Amino acid sequence: MRILANDGIAQEGVEALKANGFEVLTVNVAQEQLISYINTRNIEVLLVRSATQVQKDIIDECPNLKLIGRGGVGLDNIDVAYAEKKGIHVINTPEASSASVAELVFAHLYGGVRYLYDSNRNMPLDGDSKFKELKKSYAKGSELKGKTLGIIGFGKIGQATAKIALGVGMKVIYHDTEVEKMTVSIPFFDGQEVSFNLSNTPKEELLKTSDFITIHTPKQTAYVIGKSEFNSMKDGVGIINTSRGGALDEVALVDALKQRKVSFAGLDVFESEPKPEIPILMHPDISLTPHIGGATQEAQSRIGLELASKITNLLK
């Protein structure tokens, strides 16, 4: 059985699949050539990340497809319902990249409260001539310990984020439309484990009481945070979005930064991705990364192995 990993797959996943008798092709085929490639090479399993779109045209015109796999959490780029209606398995890896995304959230948070996003822009320019002025400017940072982190969306990534926050000493509250209660357990290096019982918080209360807010929702039809939500927040709040471009109203964000309602933002995803808007890219109070939440070596290894395991279980 032949597999096309069109957006790549970790070598550990390739080896696991080969060990179970699969042939794995890791070439990157352009979207407009994908149907022809799948059919001429008798591809039965198509693996993608976020770049390749798997919609009705591919599903209808590639009758040999038995399984579509997404290396990551979201399935926004796959017409899941239509594929399953056609008898095609659709799988993803909801847990494999959770820790990596959660750590990126805290990279943005720590960078925000200590102004690293701005310091790293200005030190190369003026560090040799205005060292004392820069030192004074960036000497008003704050700690995360003791602050309240509001998590909107409490799936696997939201829970992973909560674990780090609790370990740091933050108070954690969350809002989720489906998860009313959750026990979050934090394992430590020596085998010890500490558990926390958390309950769903109304969104309005979360907005009013959180010092920092991080978004971890699936794709939405409307903004999770827009102008009205910003108006409900505490002054000086920090905002992180590593979930989906479009979850956060970027125009309203820029206004909130201008009014100092928001002190800083950390963005890994963007409304107009892969061409983020210039006012976002150039804003001095926004920490920026190019959609790399799950892009760590460890996460990619786990994703590859999880895909291999699921494919083997379903097709062997």
Of the pLDDT bands very low, low, confident and very high (cuts 50, 70, 90), residue 192 is very high
pLDDT reported for residue 75: 85
pLDDT at 151 over 90: yes
Domain 2-94+297-315's class? alpha beta
Residue 51's pLDDT is what? 86
Q: Which residue has the higher pLDDT, 220 or 83?
A: 83
The reply to whether 2-94+297-315 and 98-288 are identical in fold is yes
Domain ranges in the chain are 2-94+297-315, 98-288
What is the reported pLDDT for 72?
84
pLDDT at 275 over 90: yes
Rg of the Cα atoms in the chain: 22
CB 302 within 8 A of CB 96: yes
**What value does the mean pLDDT take over residues 16-30?**
95
Residues across the chain:
316
Residue 35: what pLDDT? Answer: 96
Superfamily covering domain 98-288:
NAD(P)-binding Rossmann-like Domain (3.40.50.720)
What pLDDT is attached to residue 201?
Answer: 97
pLDDT at 94 over 90: no
Mean predicted confidence (pLDDT) in 266-294 = 95
pLDDT at residue 74 greater than cutoff 80: no
Active site residues: 244, 273, 291
Extract the tokens encoding 123: 């030190």
Query: Has residue 219 got a pLDDT over 90?
Result: no
Average pLDDT value for residue range 110-127: 95
Q: Average of pLDDT values for 212-234?
A: 94
Q: pLDDT at position 68, please?
A: 96
Q: How much is the average pLDDT of 150-174?
A: 97
- Contact between 282 and 68 (Cβ < 8 Å): no
Q: What sign has the CA pseudo-torsion 155, 236, 204, 229? A: negative
| Whole-number Å distance between alpha carbons of 146 and 172 | 10
Q: Is the pLDDT of residue 181 over 90?
A: yes
Per-residue pLDDT for 190 more than 80? Answer: yes
Task: Note the pLDDT of residue 134.
Answer: 96
pTM of the predicted model as reported, rounded to 2 decimal places: 0.89
Residue 258 phi, psi dihedral angles, 5° rounding: -65, -40
| 265: confidence class by pLDDT, cuts 50, 70, 90 | very high
pLDDT tens digits, one per residue of 133-149: 999 999 999 999 999 99
Region 106-111: what's the mean pLDDT?
98
